[in-house]
Structure 1
Amino acid sequence: QVLIFDTDENFQNEIDSIDSIIKSNILGVILCISGGSNSEKNIKKLDDYSIPFVLFDRELDFYHDGVFLDDFKAGFLATEALIKENHKNVGILVGKFKHKNMYNRFLGYCHALKTYDIEINNDFIYEINLEIEDGYNVAKDIFSKANNLTAIFSCSNLITLGFIKYQNENNKKNNISIIGFDNPDYFNILNLNISSISRSISEIGSIAAKMLFKKLDGNAKHTQKIIITPTLKLNGSEKLKE
């Protein structure tokens, strides 16, 4: 049997889920943390009860088994692509910095700007929750200001969806270029044609499962961290608007 616990980005839900896992005598766990460094306490619970686990998507400063994306490179590739389309004022919509993957995407964004001698503008940095509503609200805020922002790197498909929702509802679709993160099937179904940083979710899941099985079999002789390389898929949304 496979059990799935959805924390919905809520740290208390993560605590409750870990407690349920321990009470249910579950053999092993594949975990995407929701509480940033605070999640180390929950991971310690798994260790205390000798429950093997593998992290994915979000790593910690502490060294644990896991499979992660090269988020720094992802942030760099997306920002660089916008710069190469002659965007000088590039913003970023990023999740909370307590999540290391989000912070690393932000660092990649900053490095790309510095590489191309573009000054970092704090007014173009939006640290928000990974929710459609937050993407919608930040779009509302951006379009209400008289700034020179011409392009956005959105670090979450939910944020991207909220941002586009506001654009469509307010006839702002062609005002700001965008590169998103991940390109779920429903983006294509809706003909959104969003350029994005892409990764193989199935590959990440498969690697994480194999790592966990090795730990369950006692064949994992050392801690292992696997980094997946992101790819950039351009569909035209990155181009400078006329």
Structure 2
Amino acid sequence: MVSIYDIAKAAGMSAATVSRALADNDKISRSSRERIQRIADEMGYRPNLLARNFRQKSSSMIGLITDDVSDELSGMIAKGVEQALRDNGFSMLVRNVHHDLDNEQSAIDYFADMQMDGVILADSTLDSLAEVPSTKLPFVLINRFSSAEEPVSIVCTDDFAGGYDATDYLIKLNHHKIAYINGPEDWYSSIRRLNGYIDALKKNNIPFHSEYVKHGDWFEDSGYRLALELFRSEDPPTAVFAANDMMAVGVIDAARECGLRVPEDVSVMGYDDRTIAKYVRPRLTTIQLPMFEVGQMAGQVLCEMITTGHVPDGKSTRLLVRGNVIERETTAPLQG
């Protein structure tokens, strides 16, 4: 590997002069900087960025922490973050923590040791109300909340509005017996979507029936199992709103097993607008979440914090991004 000492020998200059020239230090004449850069290029020199980061106490890099970037929605967030960082002259390093608090704190410590300029904690499936792990780096949260006293910047999808919009959409199709298959009870997104569902019923003067609310685990099997309970009950719903698309796919399967046609006999509404929503049959009506835009906004907020030196003071800032209804084939007006 070519070092600055090799370049210095070839240029007939000191290593200190070469180092300053490669850092574009204006104390070195332009002609010398250009000559040294030309020699470095000819010799195939590549700078040791890690060493430079430690010297400069800066890396122009952001650490992104997510549960699993291979997940479709997490991947869209990462793309949005990356776009904002690229526009602002930053790069990104990703760590997956796989739903583990210890892994999350370890990732933060790693980014601090690497002299990262900031951290984004994205869409964790951990308890969103938990304390934010300790870090002295500027950071932004995506789709999670903190009970910590210190102010933080938060960018998230508007889960309350999403729950309201999905339910209101079904009500406008003349459905009054609307069941809701939620995510885990203690998740912040589950709580907010459920509140949106309840508020839509209330504002449309439709009684809330607790027996129509079930709690799943985000996976198809729970949607299937809970939908069977609903369809086999004494007073089955005419529409089912599932808190994500995967559980909605399970609902469609359960309806088919019970001899119900979708949407003629029962309407099904999803949430997220994952790729599967376009390819399941019938195609799934759902709430589209602008995850790329959420990631992009979070990246922009963090870049501004770093470049301006401004961090939230006094109280947390919360930026909400609202999704919208994507109408496909699993919903229809109630007949009769």
Query: What band does the TM-score fall into relative to the shorter chain?
Result: 0.7 to 0.9
Contact 1:136–1:159 (8 Å) recurs in 2: yes
Pick from 268, 278, 285: which aligns with 1:188?
278
* Per-residue deviation, 1:207: 0.9
- Judging changes above 3 Å, is the alpha-carbon distance between structure 1 residues 156 and 60 closer, same or farther for their aligned structure 2 residues? farther
Partner deviation per Cα, 1:118-151 (whole Å, 9 max, x = no partner): 1100000112212222112212222332323111
SS of the equivalent of 2:310 reads coil
- Counterpart residue number, 2:14: none
Pick from 325, 328, 332: which aligns with 1:235?
328
Structure-2 separation of matches of 1:60 and 1:79: 28
Contact 2:190–2:243 (8 Å) recurs in 1: yes
- Counterpart residue number, 2:318: 225
- Counterpart residue number, 1:45: 134
- Counterpart residue number, 1:14: 101
* Per-residue deviation, 1:105: 1.2
Partner deviation per Cα, 1:13-59 (whole Å, 9 max, x = no partner): 1332322431453522332232325531xx1423xxx1332111233
How do residues 101-180 of structure 1 correspond to structure 2 at under 5 angstroms?
A: 101-168=189-256, 171-174=259-262, 175-180=265-270
SS of the equivalent of 2:145 reads coil
Pick from 30, 40, 43: which aligns with 2:121?
30
SS of the equivalent of 1:45 reads coil
Contact 1:183–1:198 (8 Å) recurs in 2: yes
Percent of aligned positions that are identical: 20
Kindly indicate whether residue 86 of structure 2 is the aligned counterpart of residue 4 of structure 1: no
The TM-score, its normalising length taken from structure 2, stands at 0.62
> After alignment, is 70-79 or 30-39 more displaced?
30-39
SS of the equivalent of 1:2 reads strand
Kindly indicate whether residue 290 of structure 2 is the aligned counterpart of residue 203 of structure 1: no
* Per-residue deviation, 1:112: 1.0
Partner deviation per Cα, 1:151-191 (whole Å, 9 max, x = no partner): 11111122112222333455434342111112122321334
Pick from 66, 69, 72: which aligns with 2:157?
69
- Counterpart residue number, 2:168: 80
* Per-residue deviation, 1:81: 1.2
Structure-2 separation of matches of 1:115 and 1:17: 41
Partner deviation per Cα, 1:48-85 (whole Å, 9 max, x = no partner): xx133211123345552121122222111111111111
* Per-residue deviation, 1:218: 4.7
Kindly indicate whether residue 182 of structure 2 is the aligned counterpart of residue 94 of structure 1: yes
* Per-residue deviation, 1:200: 1.3
> After alignment, is 54-63 or 136-145 more displaced?
54-63
- Higher gyration radius (CA): 2
Structure-2 separation of matches of 1:34 and 1:159: 16
CA RMSD of aligned residues (A): 2.4
Match of 1:68, as an amino acid? C
Contact 2:231–2:237 (8 Å) recurs in 1: no
Match of 1:220, as an amino acid? H
Contact 1:60–1:100 (8 Å) recurs in 2: no
Match of 2:124, as an amino acid? I
Partner deviation per Cα, 1:79-126 (whole Å, 9 max, x = no partner): 111111111111111112322222111111111111111110000011
> After alignment, is 216-225 or 155-164 more displaced?
216-225
SS of the equivalent of 2:94 reads coil
SS of the equivalent of 1:113 reads helix
The number of aligned residues is: 233
Mind listing any 5+ residue stretches in structure 1 that lack a counterpart? none
- Judging changes above 3 Å, is the alpha-carbon distance between structure 1 residues 108 and 226 closer, same or farther for their aligned structure 2 residues? same
